[in-house]
Each structure stands twice: as C-alpha cells, then as structure tokens.
Amino acid sequence: MAADGQASNMDNNLANGSSVAASAQPPRPGVLPRIQTRITTMAASKPYKAENNICHDDSSRPVKAQTIDELHSLQKKRSAPTTPIKQEVTAQSPTAFSTISEEERQRLQLQSISASLASLTRESGPKVVKGDPKRKSETPKAHEQHHQYFTPNISTSDSALKFTHILYNLSPAELYEQAIKYEHGSFITSSGALATLSGAKTGRSPRDKRVVIDENTTDELWWGKGSPNIEMDEHTFLVNRERAVDYLNSLDKVFVNDQFLNWDSENRIKVRIVSARAYHSLFMHNMCIRPTPEELENFGTPDFTIYNAGQFPCNRYTHYMTSSTSIDINLARKEMVILGTQYAGEMKKGLFSVMHYLMPKRGILSLHSGCNMGKDGDVALFFGLSGTGKTTLSTDHNRLLIGDDEHCWSDNGVSNIEGGCYAKCVDLSHDKEPDIFNAIKFGAVLENVVFDEHTREVDYSDKSVTENTRASYPIEYIPNAKIPCVGPHPKNVILLACDAFGVLPPVSKLTMAQTMYHFITGYTALVAGTEDGIKEPQATFSACFGAAFIMLHPTKYAAMLAEKMKKYGATGWLVNTGWCGGRYGVGSRIKLPYTRNIINAIHSGVLLNAEYTKTEIFGLEIPTVVEGVPSEILNPMNAWENKKLYKETLLKLAGLFKQNFEVFSKYKIGSDNKLTEEILAAGPNI
C-alpha cells in the first residue's frame, strides 16, 4: 500500500508540473525496482519531452476520423473544375458569362454519355453514374435521381433496371489500379510500365474491317481491287452496334475517354471511346491528345464515338460477317464498333482511317508518316513501310520530334494527329533505341511482352506470345518531342524503301511526277527467310505507304501532296535503306551511318545544289558525291560485279512496279487525264 501511495503522489506531482524523484525503496520479493526518472515541466498542449534527451514523445494530435472508412476518405481530395462553363444569352440566361453549378455540369456530362450508350431499338439510354461500383458509397439510392440522366423507356429491359457506372477520363494511376485488380494478365513491370495481354488477337484484322456503304460513300470512297475498304450495309452495322451497346450496358462499369485528335486546334476532332477494359482506356489516354481540365469541362458532344466491345464476339450468322471479329465504321453516324478483338491497335488505326476521310474534306492532307523539325524550323516528312527505318531516321537527337506515325498538312503547316507513340518492342534494347527504351515507364502500356515472374524485367527478345509486341506511351516521354506537336510547312518529303533487290540508289532527287508515282506505289521488299522457304526477296506495295488505312483513292492523296509541295516549295527524295552490290544474300545492307549522312545532307540543303546523273529504266537523278558516303555505292550499277545480273534484276523490279501500278492507271485526276499521264510517265521505262 505504501508503494501504491507513493505512485499516486508522483502522479499528482506530474499533474501539477513539478519534478519528482522517487525515493529509493528496497524491492519487495518478486517485484522489479521502480525506474528512477526526472521529468521536466510540460505544457498541457505539448508532447512530453525529457531532460537531457533521455526520451522524446513525437506523437501528434489524433486524426479527425472516427472510423477506418472515414480515415481512407481523408486520403484523397476531390478534383475540382478550374473554369465555369459559359452559357449562351437567352431569356432564361440573360447574362452571357453566368455559370452553372457543378451538379448541373455533371448532369449534362452524364446525359451526353447516356445518349452515347442509348439503344436504338429501345430509344433509351442507360442509367449512368460516375464511380467504381466496388465502392458502395458511390452507388446512388433510388431517390437520388438528380445524379442520373433518364430517357423515357419504350420497352423496359434488365439493363434499364440497373446503374451503369462510368469511369470517366481516369488518370494512369487509377487505370493501373483497375487493371491490376480486375484484369487477369495485367502486371507492373520493373520499369513501371503496365504489361497486359490483348487476348487471342495480337495484331490488326484487316479482313474483318467493314465500312458502311451508302449514297455518299458509294462515290466518295475507294472500293474494289486493291482497296482496304470492304463494304457493309447500314442495317448490319446497326445490328453490330446494338450487340456492342447491349454488352457494354450489361457490365457494372465501363470506361469513357473524351479526348482530341490533331494538334492543330482549328481542325481538331473530339472523340469519345467507350470500352470495357482499363487497358484500352489507358492505351487511348496515351494515343489521343489529352484535354486540359478547362477543355474537358466544355467538351460537349463528341464528333466521333468508338464502342469497343472487343471481349464479346459478333454473330457469325449476321450478313457480311466472316468470323467472330468485326471492326465496323459508319461515317454517316460518326461511329465505330469493335467486336471479337481486344487488340488496342484497332482503335488507333480505326480513328486514323476516319481522319483520312474527314481531313481531305477540309482541304487537309492526312499522312502516314514520321515528322521532325530542325533548329532553324526546317520540317521533314518520312514515309516508309515496316523495316525501312522510318522510326529510326525520324528520331534524331539534333532535331525535334513532331510525331512518329500520323500527321496532317494544312494551310497552317504540319500537325501530329496523335498524343502518343505506338512502338514495336521486338528485340528492343537501350543501345538500339534509347529514347523508346526509356519511354517505357510508369504510364506506358506494354502489349503481349514476356517478363521474369520474380523481377518483372521484360525480355524483349522473347516472342512466345507474338512477334508484334508493342509499347504505347505519351509523346512527351520522348525527350526531344516538340510540344505542341505542330510545325511549319515541310521543306523535304522523304520516301523510304528497303530495296532487298539491291538495284535502287541510296538516294535520288525526285521530280514532282516521280514523287507522286512513288508515293502511290509505296514500295519496299520483304527479306527472304528460311521459315517459309522463300529464297528470293519479295516486293510489297502499299499505296501512300499506308493502304490499310486510306479511305479515298490513292491518287487523290497524291494530288493533294503534289499541290502542297508546289505551293510551299518542298522537295521529294527517294532513299533506299536496303541492299547494294547485289540482292539480299549476295550484296550488303547499306550502313546506317551512310543513310544518316544522306539524311543530314538533305536537311542541310547541300544535296539541292549537288551534281546529278540519271539512272536507266527508273530515270532517277542520283548525286555524284555525298559527304560521308562512298561514291561507288551512289550508283547501284557500279556496286555490282555482275553487270548482266544487275540489269536482269533491275528489269524484274521494274516489271513488278508496272504490274502493281496497273490498278491505278485507269483512274483520272481532274477534268482531263493529263496529270495521270504525267504520273505514269514518271514510272520505270522498260
């Protein structure tokens, strides 16, 4: 009792702020002796602090939350809009600059999304609400109807009885969480990128792409032999649209992206992408232009909408369907439907096809090209098929990158269509492509790559899933990217070809007619491989260097290119990045440093004033001297030991060119056939 009393006295002394020294008492049997301490005076509102730094209590005030859920709610603060929406002057709204409430803004936004997801047969949009359905607090109660937008139901369905949760323009971090939690096969790699799988389809399905043919597109679009456009009727499109919309409305949640295409603000397109996977939403977040908060508040109705229901197949018994996959474009409705494929590249290239239709109507040339700009503002366009070096040569540390794949050329200059890059990853290394390698970090999407199960390090040489491994990342991840991605009118138009026959010169200056001819031809050669038993190179042609995506006849794009080149004084060049001294297997690949020296000479303008000679058959003008390039390879005939074999190979390739061009030769440009005749005359003369 004496010990208890002494402890009580010490507690009282502490409460009064006095220093206490416990007197030494002999310990009772089995009881530890009391520790001697000296405590300083403590203010009631301050933490305990010991003299001589014996001990220190760094505790702070307790959190305001009363429950663990309330504590979690304090972890994130709500993003608020930065600018009000301006209304038009009306009787109800007399002030031009009056604002609407945040609740009204949200209602209008959800109304627009509900209209996008409306069924055509039921003439109703789903009940939509923002937020993750897993968070029960975000699901509205039945009486909270002011948070949703409803249209009168003519025919009630099960989907009309539920809420569809809208995950709207989520950030990369939020999309990572969604993918990791709910999408099997999604992982974070060691570099911070999100690795995911595209399912059974690891590439585009061009044979399953359809375009609605109607009274307008019948005459406007390129149909028939050589065309990528396969027709479907309006009714079949609506059947597939209904299938996609019903599937998306049956889900607890869908992802909605509202973004832009084209960095030229006067000619940009508003696009809405509705998808079922976080992977698809993050991919398009990277590939399209990301709106600012101010732009998003005033986004309004989209100019084009994609319904990506790729996890759900189309009905193979539906007319025009040849498989369980269908990618359908309806230009009149400004809609695209994806069924039966989860490959994200279908969205990117589908929108590119749409731009190939919309932009020429405005007098703007859409281009499948890379584009960079020098320090003096000189812009160059790079056209080339896979394997020609388009990405490598357009990526130059001494020049700014405007874009790597899709561009527009208007009266304002050039502009990138996209907000990101979609790079091949097979055999990628830091030494080969340091900019691309370093861009694969947090926010990037890695498709179908293989990685170590423990370290999560990606093995880019592993092709177990597919050879078509890809990375999607925002263009600002490239250090020398020009933001905004616009530039003045191009000075040089460079057409790249990997000639495995070894008969085209490393560089040649083109006339305007030759530029149009080789632009329409879109030539490169597939290198022989032992896998399929090919012993010789195979020529391949893709009109406008992107036949799979163009909508109009190739000669229309070629005529626009020639018009703009003449108007703004651009020069055309044909650059061979393939073989010299013999075909593949006999000659040698033109060294990359030689090609870079050629490109640098084009940029600097040195080649404009060089001395030229003309080749036979193709009639190409080739310079006699290029600094840093052996003169003996500039004329391909000089590099061949067997001149007879060279001539035979040259004639063979020329024959392939003429055979390919037959499909275009009957198409007239303008009121007369004069321009068509000039283009034909610019081809090889056998």
- Segment (H or E) for 421: strand 420-424
Mode of pairing for the β-strands spanning 253-261 and 231-232:
unpaired
- At residue 24's C-alpha, the angle toward residues 21 and 28, to 5°, is 130
Active-site annotation holder among 268, 356, 399, 470? 470
To the query of whether residue 390 is one of the catalytic residues in this protein, the response is: yes
Tell me which of 127, 277, 390, 399 is the catalytic residue.
Answer: 390
Closest CA to 370 of 285, 435, 273, 446: 435
Q: Judging by beta carbons within 10 Å of its beta carbon (0-12, 13-18, 19+), is residue 216 exposed, middle or buried?
A: exposed
Both tokens of residue 324?
């369980």
CA distance 425 to 427: 6
Which is the catalytic residue, given 386, 429, 588, 665? 386
Q: Of these residues, 368, 491, 509, 564, which one is catalytic?
A: 368
Q: Is 405 a catalytic residue?
A: yes
Strands 326-330 and 335-339: antiparallel
- The DSSP result for 525-571, as a single string, is EEPP-TTTT--S-EEEE-GGG-TTT--S-HHHHHHHHHHHHHHHT-E
Of the listed 272, 277, 349, 583, which one is catalytic? 349
Which residue out of 405, 472, 499, 676 is catalytically annotated? 405
Catalytic, out of 159, 191, 391, 415: 391
- Catalytic residue list contains 58: no
Catalytic residue among 122, 127, 165, 204: 204
Cis amide linkage into residue 484, ω under 30° from 0: yes
Cα(598)–Cα(536) distance, integer angstroms: 28
Total Cβ atoms within 10 A of residue 96:
10
Q: For 229-249, give the DSSP string.
A: --EE-HHHHHHHHHHHHHHHH
Length of the chain: 686
| Structure token pair of residue 330 | 């309806």
Taking a C-beta distance cutoff of 8 angstroms, is the pair 318, 304 a contact? no
Number of C-beta neighbours around residue 17 at 10 A? 12
Q: Which amino acid is at 409?
A: W
Per DSSP, 146 falls in state G
Whether residue 595 lies in the annotated active site: no
Is 204 designated active site? yes
Is 470 one of the catalytic residues? Answer: yes
> Closest Cα partner for 116 from 291, 258, 266?
258
Is 676 tagged catalytic? no
Quick one: tokens of 265? 């603000």
Q: Burial, 379: exposed, middle or buried (Cβ in 10 Å; 0-12, 13-18, 19+)?
A: buried
Judge whether 46 counts as a catalytic residue.
no
Q: How far apart are CA 257 and CA 279, in angstroms?
A: 12
Residues with a known catalytic role: 204, 349, 368, 386, 390-391, 405, 470
